Amino acid sequence: MPPQLRHRPRIAVIDDDRTHLRQMQKALERAGYEPRMSPAWELAPLFVAEAQPVLVILLAAPGSERRGWRVLDELKHAEETQSIPVLVCSAAAPALDTLRGTLHGYGVQVLPPQPSARQLLGCVRRQLAGQPSVIPTGKSARRVLDCDAAKP
């Protein structure tokens, strides 16, 4: 069934931390989404291609960031997944400020690592509405991350 005809928007989440995956699954289900979870980075491109979600969330914790960026590259170069927007949670977020516009052009938003469920859900809502999330990074990352704050 095409993604736009599903009752609940399907979101694919990839994270090798199973505890964090369960927390995200619960939060996404409570918010009305259909989460599809995978702890396997090496199978992520195939997992996303088969799930055909409306959004992909890559939770690249320190130690798994290289795999996360590799998966992002594969997703954005594969014809069946390149149009799916992606949220990447990464410790590299402050270093990517200069690429934010370019990444947004590819449907990619970069967030600091391990946002709370509430913060991530705010970013998910904005991404699905086609509105970029304004995420503090660098020195401003000390402020509270709140994608809902910029909601119209």
In the chain, the amino acid numbered 50 is E
pLDDT tens, residue by residue, 88-131: 887 776 666 667 777 777 788 888 777 788 888 888 998 888 76
pLDDT digits (tens, 9 = 90+) for 3-22: 554 579 999 999 888 888 89
What is the CATH number assigned to the segment(s) 3-150? Answer: 3.40.50.2300
Helix/strand/coil percent split, the chain, to 5: 50, 15, 35
User: What pLDDT digit, counting tens, does each position of 20-71 carry?
Assistant: 889 889 999 999 999 999 999 899 999 999 999 999 999 876 666 778 888 8
Reduce the DSSP state of residue 55 to 3 states and report it: strand
